[in-house]
Amino acid sequence: TTGSALVYSTYLGGSDEDKGNGIGVDGNGNAYVIGDTESTDFPTFPTLDPVQAANGGLRDVFVTKLNAMGSALVYSTYLGGSGDDDGRGIAVDSSGNAYVTGSTSSINFPTENPFQAANGSFSDAFVAKIGSANQPPVCSGAVASPSIIWPPNHQMVPIAITGVTDPDGDAVTITATSV
């Protein structure tokens, strides 16, 4: 019967108060969570270049993407300024972009290409789009075939390199510049 098995359940937070306020799901089953955190150690690993790496005030928004099994972070970031920032809603498009909204009392809330560049009152709404990160190819399993590129007869032979994968599904081009 549907609803009779717990597929996954996980904690998400740091050492202070953390609240999840919204969730979206993409076509691959990845969960996108928005909320607010007072933690200065909210998990942002493995994101190499988060939108914002540290909490900017008392309470910041967090946006986190969990893999489809709920077993790993795909990305996680803070979003906020020096005031109180609350994340309230999230939507996800077919390209994996997250659209988030909430409220901010920060006069230095991060903006990019803003419609309105400054906070107009004590607390304003915000809208932000967070693009999915393009991850580098994984080359740890790369193997050249044949394994001897310069055979004993000193004739060049065609080679194939296998075992290179791209987490985003992008095409991977390998160029040999010298042998």
8 Å CB contact between 79 and 103: no
> How far is residue 83's CA from residue 101's CA, in Å, rounded to a whole number?
16
Distance of CA 12 to the CA centre of its chain: 15
Give pLDDT tens digits for 24-80: 999 999 999 999 999 999 999 877 788 999 999 999 999 999 999 999 999 999 999
More confident residue, 85 or 165: 85
- What average pLDDT score do residues 157-179 get? 64
Reply yes or no on whether the pLDDT at 140 is more than 80: no
How would you classify the pairing of strands 60-66 and 31-37?
A: antiparallel
Distance of CA 76 to the CA centre of its chain: 5
Give the CA diameter of the chain: 78
* pLDDT score at 24: 97
* pLDDT score at 144: 63
Reply yes or no on whether the pLDDT at 145 is more than 80: no
Reply yes or no on whether the pLDDT at 82 is more than 70: yes
> How far is residue 115's CA from residue 172's CA, in Å, rounded to a whole number?
37
More confident residue, 97 or 149: 97
Give pLDDT tens digits for 93-104: 998 999 999 999
